Amino acid sequence: MKGVSNLVYALLTVPLVLILAVAIFNQFTANVDTTGWSTQANQTFQKITSSAYTGFNLGSMLPFIFIAVTIVGIILGMLAVK
């Protein structure tokens, strides 16, 4: 039963952490002054910003991965008991 409670904690905290991370990163990128930057610096900043948002999109799948791993663990546990 301890594994289930750990899963519940993970399912509650991961989305909250992702929401906070996106909010903080969005506020950071909005406050960066890029007026004096070269074209290459702006392109690098845009690539980093785009990569970060891609990572956040991938991170949003974590709760589904946790659920899938738990289901597989339950199935394997039931097979091991027999």
**Within-domain flag for 44:** yes
Instruction: Give the model confidence (pLDDT) of 9-66 as tens digits.
Output: 878 888 889 899 999 999 999 999 999 999 999 999 999 999 999 999 998 888 888 8
For residue 63, the enclosing domain spans 2-28+38-81
**Within-domain flag for 70:** yes
pLDDT: which is higher, 77 or 3: 77
* Model confidence at 3: pLDDT above 70: no
The phi, psi pair for 36, rounded to 5°, reads: -95, 10
Which residue type, as a one-letter code, is found at position 68? A
Beta strands in the chain (DSSP E): none
The span from the CA of 21 to the CA of 59, in Å, is 11
Number of domains within the chain = 1
Structure tokens at 49: 């910003």
**Within-domain flag for 8:** yes
pTM for the model stands at: 0.71
For residue 62, what pLDDT is reported?
Answer: 86
* Model confidence at 82: pLDDT above 80: no
For residue 2, what pLDDT is reported?
Answer: 64
